[in-house]
């Protein structure tokens, strides 16, 4: 009788756990932490995230493997990220950002929190929470966050190519922000960052700009006339905030056909860093 009650209790607990995983607002999955990552379990939220109708639909779309869930261009980066984080982390945790392609062909950015554990029968198993990255603007400046920015940049580059025009990615880095905060205070530093964001809006529109953190900003636009626009931008920055301002280094990268937005940002950032040895505000490309 006691064993029967224990079995019934365990069954009820199991049903509650499964129900809880299925109704939770974010995606959850379990997959084998070796090979291509054979999928063991996915909840309803993750199936919906991929715009699938059922678990069978999801398995057909992804091939039933974790690597099949990730946008092909991002897969090498994700695999390297998992390897690097596990080597440095005794808790066997990983945190990853990557793109997915839904059944309808939509590209979305997601965040993946995973933890690996050894199972006596299955071997290495990963339990992962996956969520759509919220399209929440930057808390300080109100500019779009980087994931929203990536989506807009991809669409913009495609549209300009269809019109037989060229587009550029721009990386902005204010020189001396730490010294500015030390001299005038953090509140004044934050106010200056907001003034800088307003200048970006003036020249590139709010939708085409983003703050990636601290004093690092990005924007994109048409290549035609970009040097004149940047010269005007730098002149406006000189007189901004009553002259209490900083020089800016700007890196440019052409968004050529077939180039991912992530790669364009990396090249623009490297071009920006190449300007740091030079005095004053300036721009360049690599």
pLDDT band at 3 (very low <50, low <70, confident <90, very high): low
| Closest C-alpha among 193, 171, 172 to residue 181 | 193
* Per-residue model confidence (pLDDT) at position 147: 80
* Per-residue model confidence (pLDDT) at position 5: 46
Range of weakest confidence among 15-19, 38-42, 238-242, 253-257? 15-19
Instruction: Decide if 2-132 and 146-285 have a common fold.
Output: no
Specify the pTM.
0.60
Q: Where are the domains of the chain?
A: 2-132, 146-285
Query: What digits encode the pLDDT tens for the residues 140-168?
Result: 999 988 888 888 898 888 888 888 889 99
Q: Give the mean pLDDT of the chain.
A: 87
pLDDT surpassing 70 at residue 198: yes
Range of weakest confidence among 51-60, 160-169, 184-193, 200-209? 160-169
pLDDT surpassing 60 at residue 8: no
pLDDT band at 18 (very low <50, low <70, confident <90, very high): low
Residues 6+ apart with CB under 8 A from 219: 169, 170, 172, 200, 203, 204, 208, 209, 210
Residue 210 contacts residue 139 (beta carbons within 8 Å): no
- Distance, in Å, from the CA atom of 100 to the CA atom of 27, rounded to the nearest integer, reads 13
- Distance, in Å, from the CA atom of 158 to the CA atom of 94, rounded to the nearest integer, reads 33
Give the count of alpha carbons within 13 A of 197, CB side only.
24
The highest-level CATH class for domain 2-132 is alpha beta
Query: What digits encode the pLDDT tens for the residues 79-137?
Result: 988 888 777 766 777 788 888 999 998 888 888 998 888 888 888 899 999 987 755 68
The mean pLDDT value for 8-26 works out to: 65
Calculate the alpha carbon distances from 10 to 3, 124, 242 in Å.
11, 25, 69
| Closest C-alpha among 254, 269, 279, 281 to residue 217 | 269
Largest CA distance in the chain: 85
Write out the DSSP string of 125-141. EEEEEEEEPP-PPPTTT
Query: What digits encode the pLDDT tens for the residues 29-60?
Result: 999 988 999 999 999 999 999 999 999 999 99
* Per-residue model confidence (pLDDT) at position 279: 81
Residue 126 contacts residue 37 (beta carbons within 8 Å): yes
Query: Three-state secondary structure along 204-252?
Result: HCHHHEEEEECCEEEEEEECCCHHHHHHHHHHHHHHHHHHCCCCEEEEE
Arch. (CATH architecture) of 146-285: 2-Layer Sandwich (3.30)
* Per-residue model confidence (pLDDT) at position 61: 97
What are 29's two structure tokens?
Answer: 């999955």
CA-based angle 94:82:210, to the nearest 5? 75
| Closest C-alpha among 47, 144, 66 to residue 112 | 66
pLDDT surpassing 80 at residue 64: yes
pLDDT surpassing 80 at residue 261: yes
- Distance, in Å, from the CA atom of 86 to the CA atom of 263, rounded to the nearest integer, reads 25
């Amino acid at each position: 009788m006691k064993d029967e009650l224990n079995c019934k209790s365990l069954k009820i607990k199991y049903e509650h756990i499964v129900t809880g995983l299925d109704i939770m607002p974010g995606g959850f999955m379990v997959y084998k932490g070796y090979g291509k990552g054979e999928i063991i379990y996915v909840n309803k939220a993750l199936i919906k995230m991929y715009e699938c109708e059922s678990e069978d639909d999801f398995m057909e779309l992804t091939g039933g493997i974790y690597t099949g869930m990730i946008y092909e261009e991002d897969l090498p980066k994700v695999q390297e990220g998992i390897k690097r984080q596990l080597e440095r982390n005794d808790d066997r945790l990983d945190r990853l950002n990557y793109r997915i392609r839904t059944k309808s062909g939509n590209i979305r950015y997601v965040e993946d929190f995973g933890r690996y554990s050894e199972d006596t029968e299955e071997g290495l198993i990963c339990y992962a929470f996956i969520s759509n990255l919220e399209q929440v603007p930057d808390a300080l400046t109100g500019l779009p966050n980087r994931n929203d920015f990536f989506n807009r940049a991809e669409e913009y580059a495609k549209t300009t190519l269809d019109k037989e025009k060229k587009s550029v990615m721009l990386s902005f880095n204010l020189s001396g922000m730490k010294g500015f905060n030390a001299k005038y205070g953090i509140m004044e530093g934050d106010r200056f960052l907001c003034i800088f964001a307003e200048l970006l809006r003036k020249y590139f529109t709010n939708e085409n700009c983003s703050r990636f953190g601290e004093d690092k900003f990005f924007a994109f636009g048409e290549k035609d006339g970009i040097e004149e626009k940047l010269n005007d931008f730098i002149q406006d920055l000189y007189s901004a905030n009553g002259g209490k301002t900083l020089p800016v280094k700007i890196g440019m990268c052409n968004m050529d056909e077939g180039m991912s937005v992530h790669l364009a940002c990396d090249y623009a950032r490297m071009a920006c860093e190449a300007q740091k040895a030079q005095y004053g505000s300036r721009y360049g490309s690599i």
